[in-house]
A and B are shown apart, each in its own frame.
Chain A
Amino acid sequence: QKEVEQNSGPLSVPEGAIASLNCTYSDRGSQSFFWYRQYSGKSPELIMFIYSNGDKEDGRFTAQLNKASQYVSLLIRDSQPSDSATYLCDVPGSGNTGKLIFGQGTTLQVKP
């Protein structure tokens, strides 16, 4: 089992819909969870991070964390064509070892 897994997609949603991106992880000791967005040909940029169980909202984005089930999700409400990108989940292992562990990314396509 990979340490961090994402469905590579593409995930296609119509404009205005909710896009749901999921990420599962294997290290039960992980304490912090990050979502990065990467547009084609560009570098990744942070959009959300979450440390506690439950939901964290920032504008149209909501991160959901369930440590018991070892998954973290990103919901994008009112999806826009400008949200079309690859979304990378980063789940560092337990302890600050310095090493970063990314999933392979989910490509989201928002169709007008």
Chain B
Amino acid sequence: DAGITQSPRHKVTETGTPVTLRCHQTENHRYMYWYRQDPGHGLRLIHYSYGVKDTDKGEVSDGYSVSRSKTEDFLLTLESATSSQTSVYFCAISAGGSTDTQYFGPGTRLTVL
């Protein structure tokens, strides 16, 4: 299994609070991704990174920010959580980008009350 961990695995928070999710890899892959998965919507890309300090938006980036200060860590921040951000969040890594295999982390279940 690819070395990807996500923390926390579960989190319950209240509307308006900041939340940070962490993705950590031990594979030294260049590309890292954050997705959310909701019933009826499949996997939707939030943000991705193509190198340290290099990030770009996905299709559902509003309300989210990311940072990547080291190759191995990619952080997703919800500045002020809303109930619509209740979801399962997956991190993925890839050596070669979108035309290469993605390896997914175990996921984080976030509930915003």
A residues with CB within 8 A of B: 6, 8, 31-32, 34, 36, 42-46, 49, 88, 90, 92-93, 96-105
Chain A CB within 8 A of B45 CB: yes
Please tell me the number of chain B residues within 8 Å of chain A, measured between CB atoms: 25
Residue of A nearest to B105 (CB): A43
**Which residues of A sit under 8 angstroms from B31, Cβ to Cβ?**
98
> In angstroms, how far is the closest chain A Cβ from the Cβ of B60?
12
**Which residues of B sit under 8 angstroms from A36, Cβ to Cβ?**
102
B residues with CB within 8 A of A: 31, 33, 40-45, 48, 50, 56, 58, 90, 92, 96-99, 101-107
The total number of A-B Cβ pairs within 8 Å is: 62
B104 touches A98 (CB 8 A): no
A100 touches B33 (CB 8 A): yes
- With A42-B106, A98-B97, A100-B102 given, name 16 new contacts (CB 8 A): A32-B99, A43-B106, A44-B90, A44-B102, A45-B104, A46-B101, A88-B43, A90-B102, A92-B98, A92-B99, A93-B98, A98-B48, A99-B48, A101-B45, A104-B40, A105-B43
